[in-house]
Amino acid sequence: DDRLASLDALVAGSGRTTVVQPVVDLRTGRVVGAEALSRFTSPAGLARRPEQVFSDARSAGVGVELEQAAIASALPLLGRLPPGAYLSVNASPEALADPRSLDLLLSGRPDRLVVEVTEHAPVADYGALREATAHLRRHGARIAVDDAGAGFASLQHVLQLTPDIVKLDIAFVHGIDTDPARRAVARALVGFASELGSTVVAEGVEREGELTVLTELGVDCGQGYLLGRPTATPPWGAGPDDTT
């Protein structure tokens, strides 16, 4: 149909691939999960900024379709997780409002899945979003709030969804070791999250100094270039299927 034609035009001739970035337990150093991220290449072979591609897709009215395609590409990784590890995928409130997204998300192994709720626009109806996340949870999936602290809506997400995981935005992680203001905000967010019973994951950890402060603040897990870059091969290798 028209929307799919427009999605084709948008990504025509450009490769879309899935990379995965490890999430590491800061106490044990173990990989506890990985986030699937999309990468796009232009017909000329240049990397296109994923943010821009998703934003163009939203403008063209095919944002949800592109998100669903990305989720569909990531789900096979669920079959190769090491015991106990999770795979996280991104989903906007708009995508979660489409029942087909929920069916898709639940078609793999929801017990190993984390759904990271992102934010692109204010949420008009938290009732619907709460219902969607509750549905996913009933089937064993965990819910994360992405980019926590980055905007008003992301804190609303935390209040409204009481997520299993809160992902501390990169804005409070970069320079947390040198900037007392970032440290103060991060400490408050960690307190807020742990009072709700959520696990905290710090995004964008790039330096040892940041890692030290995050650990001192009681952040549970970290993700970032220091701990592991997004790569085409999962951080646990191509290994045999996990049957646990």
Q: What is the dihedral of CA 215, 219, 221, 224, to 10 degrees?
A: -70
Report CA 33 to chain centroid distance, whole Å.
11
DSSP string, 88-123: EEEE-HHHHTSHHHHHHHTTS-GGGEEEEE--SS--
**C-alpha to C-alpha distance for 48 and 17, rounded to whole angstroms:** 12
Site for ligand G in 22-81 (CB under 6 A): 37-38, 50-51, 54, 67, 70
Query: Which residue number is nearest to Mn ion in terms of Cβ?
Result: 147
56 binds, among ligand G, Mn ion, Na ion, none (CB under 5 to 8 A by kind): none
Is there binding between residue 11 and ligand G (CB under 6 A)?
no
Please, which residues have CB within 8 angstroms of residue 6's CB and are 6 or more apart in sequence?
60, 61, 62
Is there binding between residue 116 and Na ion (CB under 5 A)?
yes
DSSP state of 231: B
Q: Binding pattern to ligand G, positions 79-118, x when CB under 6 A?
A: -----------x-x-------------------------x
**C-alpha to C-alpha distance for 148 and 170, rounded to whole angstroms:** 9
Binding residues for Mn ion, rule: CB under 5 A, are 146-147, 203
Least Cβ distance, residue 243 to ligand G (angstroms): 27
**C-alpha to C-alpha distance for 11 and 8, rounded to whole angstroms:** 5
50 binds, among ligand G, Na ion, Mn ion, none (CB under 5 to 8 A by kind): ligand G
Stretch that binds Na ion, among 7-15, 25-33, 64-72, 85-93 (CB under 5 A): 85-93
Tokens of 183: 């440290």
72 binds, among Na ion, ligand G, Mn ion, none (CB under 5 to 8 A by kind): none
Stretch that binds ligand G, among 136-144, 153-161, 182-190, 199-207 (CB under 6 A): 199-207
Binding site for ligand G (CB under 6 A): 21, 37-38, 50-51, 54, 67, 70, 90, 92, 118, 146-147, 170, 203-206, 224-225, 230
